[in-house]
A and B are shown apart, each in its own frame.
Chain A
């Protein structure tokens, strides 16, 4: 039991379950799923489907934060990606896949490139991550508005809707995209030494350099990956609504993504990162939003409630707080922790 409580994933998972159970309380059919027109439907699927962009962006954000950085530009990159994608297919019609592939390729390429721009500023020029990405946060949205001419551009090209609205094996296609990117990220970071290098650079960049790690390239890579993830997320969002909105697409996404990462247990101080935790964090945020709409709380309270839940999760994760409030193994717990330090300080 103790091992379970100590696991980093315990509290986020618990909170996620709680939120889902609250939903069940208000809506007894919440957990039910049915196949309609060959598509699996239900609230849970809905949460996964709508949460896919946030999950994607949070995965990229996790790696950036692991290097002691932060990427504030993801929201703007989402807008850029959507704008590029939508404008590429704006004049297309019919069902040919050419324009679709062109749109995907072009927008992902550009998003990865602008992520790399962040990376260059941070790793080569030495600009602080928060400043470097703030620049793109402003510039990116500006570019998106320029591309769309400040208007909402509607797409009439059918294949484009598949990215965010299509179904595969009875499941929304966006879930597959998120799962695929998650899998790639996990494989790359845990089955190769990339994860070790990222954690090393985040924990002590100077020492990492002296150990022969090319810290600059590692940083460049994580920002590029974050840009890529934001690009994919942007395509999904734009495809969902079959339009591009330079002004509002991806607004505040960077904050949700940072929250998801923090809820997942990755420290903003860099070092260790937890991709699975991040995904759960993103799901918590998404299910909160869904819950607020579905149980009839006025939509205006959305942000306040969200903030409260995030606060609760963060507090629950702090051993200090748990000890003070619940008296969890009050004496023993305290002794144990000190003991651990002490035994190793000998």
Chain B
């Protein structure tokens, strides 16, 4: 393959923003028919590199050649003309339009000046068939799951005669089967000669699907490797640039310190909500981390929302510290010292127009009420403390949160709840879409909190993460709690997965 002419070659790319060198001397080579992973932590420069490649930002220095010819990609439109298309992490489609409309928007097929709907529908169906998807293309996009919406986004990208397809964290909101479906599609496209850039934080997926990978760190080019020839540990240490002792310290199982605490903080008795989650029992003991495992749609988020009062339960009782508690709103739950970090950062987490500082103090301020306003000095102290603790970048409390990267926004959300010093913290996919360094930080933080006798309810799609950190694991399937395991050290991923999949 190395003899072949690369489809794309970027050399000595430099991109500077005021005060920051986002990319210094970075290179990237893509060959036709390969899946190429772009690896690096948050802030390594992956997004910037992609934006440079797709013409969102102009480059300061360096050359880009397409199939040997130097090109100047000055705008996203130009990039599309060159056959470079991107599917972003957060699906950028219009959910109130039909599937066909989404695929053809901006380049509708016309006949005699009128829209040729029939042809567009047929073409859309064909495109989706190539992605092994058979759906009614006349229906609204919002009537389909996120996974299918993602496929539609890919179909839209393919509709432009694509040569290079960039998938920026396409798997972060997909479940296991859907990821496999996506991979099947990627393999097919690879066979068709497409060069695919794949960005993902899931190492398993990287090793499963990619051929080669380029590692970036702090805007610098670290190296290009064949996926088959690099070990996981090597890759991770190249990405974070330090040895892995720290990580291993955490990956040693947490089960040794199973606190034999019998004091329960929260007790859910036959709690349920019709159409969301079947009645379940759950006990959260002090100093305990409980994992919720289950596929997407298994009811794990719904369970968390009911426990937090975000959705009102219609069955059962919740006891806090032995006394019955009535949650009718998140506010009540917060007053009972419960915190909930939602998985939908964008819609249920951040307040985009407010600063990092304001986002951080929001929950604690709502506990204090509107009259007892935290002094500016106190707010700054809180913000500075947590920016440092969680290593939030940029370290500017007055930055609007919408300008932060996803990982850093997540950290601010975490800070918002840590500030309230909750006795029970519900974390719904806190590690999704963030880099290994930050993941490690969050895991460490969880362990620390549990040592301080706080309880944590941890929801994650990564069973490995759950096994590593949790004392007990509850498994949900089809909106029902089906099993509860003690993580005694003998429990394996297979055991948990079997329960998640069911029927076995």
Interface residue ranges, A against B (CB under 8 Å): 191-194, 196-197, 199-200, 202-204, 206-214, 270-272, 336, 338-346
B173-181, B258-266, B349-357: which lies at the A interface? Answer: B349-357
CB distance from B350 to the nearest CB of A (A): 6
CB-CB under 8 A from A197, the residues of chain B are 365-366, 370
Contact between A207 and B348 (Cβ–Cβ < 8 Å)?
Answer: yes
Task: From the candidates B47, B349, B363, B371, name the one contacting A345 in the complex (CB within 8 A).
Answer: B47
Chain A residue nearest to B366 (CB atoms) is A212
Chain B residue nearest to A204 (CB atoms) is B351
Contact between B18 and A346 (Cβ–Cβ < 8 Å)?
Answer: no
Task: From the candidates A191, A207, A338, name the one contacting B351 in the complex (CB within 8 A).
Answer: A207
CB-CB under 8 A from B366, the residues of chain A are 193, 197, 211-214
Interface residue ranges, B against A (CB under 8 Å): 15, 17-20, 22, 42-43, 45, 47-48, 51, 57, 219, 308, 310, 329-331, 334-335, 340, 342, 347-354, 358, 362-363, 365-374, 393-394, 399, 403-405, 416
CB-CB under 8 A from A207, the residues of chain B are 342, 347-351
Chain A to chain B contacts (Cβ below 8 Å), 15 pairs: A192-B370, A192-B373, A193-B369, A196-B358, A199-B353, A200-B354, A203-B351, A203-B354, A206-B347, A206-B348, A207-B342, A208-B362, A211-B362, A346-B43, A346-B47
CB-CB under 8 A from B330, the residues of chain A are 209-212
Complex Cα distance, B308 from A212, in Å, reads 11
CB-CB under 8 A from B394, the residues of chain A are 343-344
CB-CB under 8 A from A211, the residues of chain B are 330, 351, 362-363, 366, 416
Complex Cα distance, B351 from A207, in Å, reads 7
CB-CB under 8 A from B354, the residues of chain A are 196, 199-200, 203, 271
Contact between A339 and B18 (Cβ–Cβ < 8 Å)?
Answer: yes
CB-CB under 8 A from B362, the residues of chain A are 196, 200, 208, 211-213
Contact between A210 and B310 (Cβ–Cβ < 8 Å)?
Answer: yes
CB-CB under 8 A from A341, the residues of chain B are 403
Task: From the candidates A193, A199, A214, A345, name the one contacting B403 in the complex (CB within 8 A).
Answer: A345
Complex Cα distance, B55 from A338, in Å, reads 13
Contact between A214 and B329 (Cβ–Cβ < 8 Å)?
Answer: yes
Complex Cα distance, B315 from A271, in Å, reads 37
Count of A-B contacts judged by CB separation below 8 Å:
126
Complex Cα distance, B20 from A339, in Å, reads 9
The 5 closest A-B pairs by CB, nearest first: A271-B353, A212-B366, A344-B403, A203-B353, A343-B17
* Interface of A, helix, strand, loop or mixed by DSSP: helix
Chain B residue nearest to A218 (CB atoms) is B370
Contact between B348 and A346 (Cβ–Cβ < 8 Å)?
Answer: no
Complex Cα distance, B330 from A208, in Å, reads 10
Task: Apart from A192-B371, A345-B405, A346-B22, list 19 A-B contacts with CB within 8 A.
Answer: A193-B365, A194-B370, A196-B354, A199-B354, A204-B350, A207-B350, A209-B310, A210-B348, A212-B335, A213-B362, A270-B353, A340-B18, A341-B403, A342-B51, A343-B17, A343-B18, A344-B403, A344-B404, A346-B42
CB-CB under 8 A from A192, the residues of chain B are 370-371, 373
Contact between A193 and B370 (Cβ–Cβ < 8 Å)?
Answer: yes
CB-CB under 8 A from B363, the residues of chain A are 211-212
Chain B residue nearest to A334 (CB atoms) is B58
CB-CB under 8 A from B403, the residues of chain A are 340-341, 344-345
Chain A residue nearest to B310 (CB atoms) is A210
Contact between A344 and B57 (Cβ–Cβ < 8 Å)?
Answer: no
CB-CB under 8 A from B373, the residues of chain A are 191-193, 196
CB distance from B52 to the nearest CB of A (A): 10
Contact between B351 and A208 (Cβ–Cβ < 8 Å)?
Answer: yes
Interface centre among B17, B18, B393 (most CB of A within 10 A): B17
